Amino acid sequence: MSEDIKKGRGPTCPQKSLAEALDLIRTVFEKAGRSKAKPAALAGIMGYNGLNGTALRTLAVLNQYGFIEKDGKESLSVSDLAIRLLHPVDETQRIQALRESALKPKVFETLYNDGFHHASEDAVSKHLIQSGFSEDSANGAAEVFMQNITFAKLKENGIKSEHAPNNNSMPKVSREPLPQFVWPKPADQAPDTFAPPLPMVLGELSLPLENGKIIRIPKMTEEDFDLFTETLKLWRHRIVIKPHQTKFPLQATWKNKDFDKPVKIVAEMGIKDGVRYFQSEDGTGIPEPELTFAV
């Protein structure tokens, strides 16, 4: 583990989000401009009663984002980066300054270069724990990192850190690639059932159905959702079951833990405990999940 990451477990990993730090440096600039000031004076401007532990941690946050710089041995002043962010000449400069400050902390730059800005907050936290962070530190760092990614619009394609990726800065852990939603095949190739859903990194929703089954739907962009719903409409006639229109008898295979047995289904019995039951020719009630109907 590199020294940067060892330090990242402590004070060099910001404990406040970029948005919070920006509000603080704005207050400092409005009251002190770019004047040289002692740390205690800056702490007082931000509302702290002296240079206590909380004030020192806040000054550390401003330093980690590049918002203050040393001006002499004991004095500090608002940095050029902070000025570009507070008073940009245009929106492009403001976004560039946001992105630069968001990735100033070494840990955040490393996470970004390793692609974790597209992962979930939970995945980031677990990766940091595997990299040597305590659980509390990892949870806090992951939360701040994801807030900064959103605030600085760093999920957009084509955005890169100003530094080259440091592949040795964190121990590598096995990560599954981001899942791609697999759309149903054309009608002439369509399977009778859908394949099991891919493991999700960004999260998924579990939707219980009336028959007791559960389908899992991955979280997706608005464009993908529109395409998904349009596809469901096209496949409605293959998906929707209309019991009152079902023509019995039906040939099926009854599959349970003890046997696979051909059966003739003569009627639908209804739903019990969320599971649909069908009646076989000999009067047996069989739960739908144990039946495979002949096509």
Q: pLDDT by residue (tens digit) across 247-270? A: 788 899 998 888 889 999 998 888
The mean pLDDT value for 109-133 works out to 89
Cα–Cα distance measured from residue 271 to residue 288, given in angstroms and rounded to the nearest whole number: 10
Indicate the average pLDDT of the chain. Answer: 76
Check whether residue 76 and residue 132 sit in a common domain: yes
State percent of the chain over pLDDT 90. 22
Mean pLDDT is lowest, of 102-106, 163-167, 211-215, for 163-167
Check whether residue 206 and residue 277 sit in a common domain: no
Cα–Cα distance measured from residue 200 to residue 179, given in angstroms and rounded to the nearest whole number: 6
Please report whether residue 44 resides in a domain.
yes
Q: Is the peptide bond before 249 cis (omega within 30 degrees of 0)?
A: yes
Q: Which of 104, 130, 151 is the last residue of a domain?
A: 151
Residues of the domain holding 104: 3-151
CB–CB of 181/224 below 8 Å? yes
Check whether residue 276 and residue 193 sit in a common domain: no
Long-range contacts of 21-25 (CB under 8 A, 24+ apart): 21/61, 21/62, 21/65, 21/67, 21/101, 22/67, 22/85, 22/86, 24/58, 24/61, 24/62, 24/67, 25/62, 25/67, 25/68, 25/78, 25/82, 25/86
Check whether residue 220 and residue 259 sit in a common domain: no
Check whether residue 234 and residue 214 sit in a common domain: yes
Please report whether residue 156 resides in a domain.
no
| pLDDT tens-digit map of 14-62 | 889 999 999 999 999 998 888 888 888 888 889 888 888 888 889 999 9
The mean pLDDT value for 77-93 works out to 91
Cα–Cα distance measured from residue 227 to residue 80, given in angstroms and rounded to the nearest whole number: 46
Which CATH number does the domain housing residue 257 bear? Answer: 2.30.30
The mean pLDDT value for 85-99 works out to 91
Block residue for tokens 């495979």: 292
Kindly tell me if the per-residue pLDDT of 148 is higher than 60. Answer: yes
| Phi, psi angles (nearest 5°) of residue 115 | 85, 10
Q: Tell me the pLDDT band of 206, cut-offs 50, 70 and 90.
A: low
Q: Coil, strand, or helix at residue 200? A: coil
Block residue for tokens 């990614």: 149
Q: How many domains would you assign to the chain?
A: 3
Strand partners, 291: 254
Check whether residue 9 and residue 146 sit in a common domain: yes
Check whether residue 232 and residue 264 sit in a common domain: no
| Phi, psi angles (nearest 5°) of residue 77 | -150, 165
Question: If you ran DSSP here, which 8-state letter would residue 37 be given?
Answer: B
Please report whether residue 173 resides in a domain.
no
Check whether residue 216 and residue 248 sit in a common domain: no
